[in-house]
């Protein structure tokens, strides 16, 4: 709320937001035919998705494991059945951890990469070279990255959800805080299918925010190597803020 108020009262932030929406408009105006982007989209899918597998696997498995152990630590009452531990792990994973924490990691890895790549292209006149050829550089450089993120990020979220629940299972059963039977029972108990849809809706929104904000920050880099670094940092911080604001708004609207 404070952030929204600050935006409303600060003309620079409002100008930046306006520029961001003009940037989004330019992504679709006078773009090249979509077939032109096919190879780029495939290349970006590999960079965005396949190259993020290791970090997403590590983060989500450990987050699931930690959630399981900490939930068990807090459930001190003997009246609460042990399967509640895995029920909590499942719902926390689907509702928050898989889409949101992965999005923060995604912003750090992919967002900074997009911003620094476009920033370097900008300062080394590669973007000007595209413009001189009569190519809409905003669309040519930004659209394949955004489409690739929209394709790959939901898949990463599905993988992260599965691995977090698996991480919780491994941590819970190895340490003995929950039996395998209880854990599996808890995972199946009171399951709401909408939670999966909610996680996927969030994943599309977060993918769009991270990729578009990072492309925007990279594309408008001016100066030299120092400014490329600043754009990259700014892309990650702005993406994280946008993710958290969108997370709150989606929770208000959809749950």
Residues of the shown chain interacting with other proteins in the complex, contacts defined by CB under 8 A: 30, 32, 36, 120-121, 124-126, 128-129, 131-135
Q: Is 60 helix (H, G, I), strand (E, B) or coil?
A: helix
Taking the least distance from each CB to other proteins, the nearer of 39 and 188 is 39
Q: How far is the CB of 137 from other proteins (least distance, A)?
A: 11
Min CB(109)–other proteins separation in Å: 18
Nearer to other proteins, 139 or 203 (CB): 139
Residue 134 region by backbone torsions, left for phi larger than 0, else alpha for psi between -120 and 50, else beta: left
Backbone angles phi and psi of 30, in degrees to 5: 50, 40
d(CA 215, CA 117): 9
Least distance in angstroms from the C-beta of 155 to other proteins: 24
Q: How far apart are CA 233 and CA 42, in angstroms?
A: 26
- What would the two tokens of residue 178 be? 């929950």
Q: What is the CA radius of gyration of the chain?
A: 21
Closest CB to other proteins among 50 and 249? 50
Contact 156, 52 (CB under 8 A): yes
Tell me how far, at minimum, the Cβ of 217 lies from other proteins, in Å. 19
To other proteins, the closest distance from the beta carbon of 141 in angstroms equals 11
Residues 6+ apart with CB under 8 A from 72: 82, 85, 172, 177, 178
- Name which of 117 and 247 has its Cβ closer to other proteins: 117
Q: Measured from the CB atom, is 40 or 195 closer to other proteins?
A: 40
Contact of 166 with 64, CB cutoff 8 Å: yes
Smallest distance from the beta carbon of 128 to other proteins, in angstroms? 6
DSSP 135: -
Q: Which is nearer to other proteins, 125 or 248 (CB)?
A: 125
Q: How far is the CB of 35 from other proteins (least distance, A)?
A: 11
| Nearest Cα to Cα of residue 27 among 139, 136, 127, 135 | 139
Burial class (CB in 10 A: 0-12, 13-18, 19+), 201: middle
**Residue 100 and residue 246: Cα distance in Å, rounded?**
10
Complex with other proteins: residue 70 or 126, whichever CB lies closer = 126
């Amino acid at each position: 709320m404070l952030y929204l108020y600050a935006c409303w009262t600060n003309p620079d932030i409002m100008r930046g937001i306006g520029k961001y929406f003009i940037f989004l408009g330019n992504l679709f105006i006078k773009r090249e035919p979509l077939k032109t982007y096919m190879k780029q989209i495939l290349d970006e899918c590999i960079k965005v998705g396949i190259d993020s597998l290791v970090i997403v696997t590590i983060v989500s498995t450990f987050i699931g494991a930690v959630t399981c152990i900490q939930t068990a630590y807090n459930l001190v009452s003997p009246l609460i059945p042990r399967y509640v531990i895995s029920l909590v792990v499942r719902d926390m994973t689907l509702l928050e951890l898989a889409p949101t924490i992965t999005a923060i990691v995604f912003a750090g890895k992919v967002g900074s990469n997009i911003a620094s790549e476009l920033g370097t292209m900008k300062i080394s006149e590669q973007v000007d070279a595209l413009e001189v050829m009569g190519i809409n550089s905003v669309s040519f450089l930004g659209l394949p990255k955004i489409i690739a993120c929209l394709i790959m990020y939901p898949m990463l979220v599905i993988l992260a959800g599965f691995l977090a629940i698996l991480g919780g299972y491994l941590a819970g059963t190895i340490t003995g805080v929950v039996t395998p039977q209880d854990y599996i029972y808890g995972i199946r108990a009171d399951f709401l299918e909408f939670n999966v849809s909610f996680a996927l809706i969030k994943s599309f929104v977060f993918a769009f925010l991270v990729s578009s904000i990072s492309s925007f920050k990279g594309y408008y880099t001016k100066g030299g190597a120092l400014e490329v670094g600043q754009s990259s940092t700014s892309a990650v911080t702005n993406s994280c803020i946008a993710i958290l604001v969108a997370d709150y708004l989606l929770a208000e609207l959809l749950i």
